[in-house]
Amino acid sequence: MKQEKIRLLFVCLGNICRSPSAEAIIKKLVQDAGLESRIDIDSAGILGYHEGELPDSRMWMHGSRRGYVLDSRSRPVKTSDFYTFDMIIGMDDRNMDDLRRKAPDMESVAKLHKMTDFLENKLYDHVPDPYYGGASGFKLVLDLLEEACQGLLDTISSISDN
């Protein structure tokens, strides 16, 4: 029996810092684990004001220093995403509230997850937006996303193994 792909969508406010970073990190983890044929990955923003833009240059710089390729183009969340993706993962409570409002039905709401739910170390209850901060904010976001993406991949792997 052929297993269907698991489709993941990462969401932040503008889709230029946190969600494209999560996308890049999980893509690398998936590639390193040889799971590219089993997992599809994308990212989007609650708002579309950065639509078509590449990730923030500061986020790109910090991510590339860690070996990540942040090359996705910003796009807004669409209603069709709730039907296309198996898991839609928001970065903070505001993202989660906005996603719940955008969800077309209760089945879609059930697909929503918060990124920090996949952290082993529960010191943070959200992934902070680094946009208006300095270098330490971008580094913190990458630290949190690296841990959460590994936790997410472990969760997906345990589900797939059953």
Active-site residue list? 12, 18, 129
- Return the HEC string of 38-103: CEEEEEEECCCCCCCCCCCHHHHHHHHHCCCCCCCCCCECCCCHHHHCCEEEECCHHHHHHHHHHC
CB 73 within 8 A of CB 30: no
| Distance from C-alpha of 139 to C-alpha of 22, rounded to nearest angstrom | 13
Q: Distances from the Cα of 6 to the Cαs of 93, 97, 111, 148, 152, in angstroms?
A: 24, 24, 12, 17, 12
Kindly report the number of other CB atoms within 10 A of residue 63's CB atom: 24
CB 30 within 8 A of CB 41: yes
The helix/strand/coil state of 127 is coil
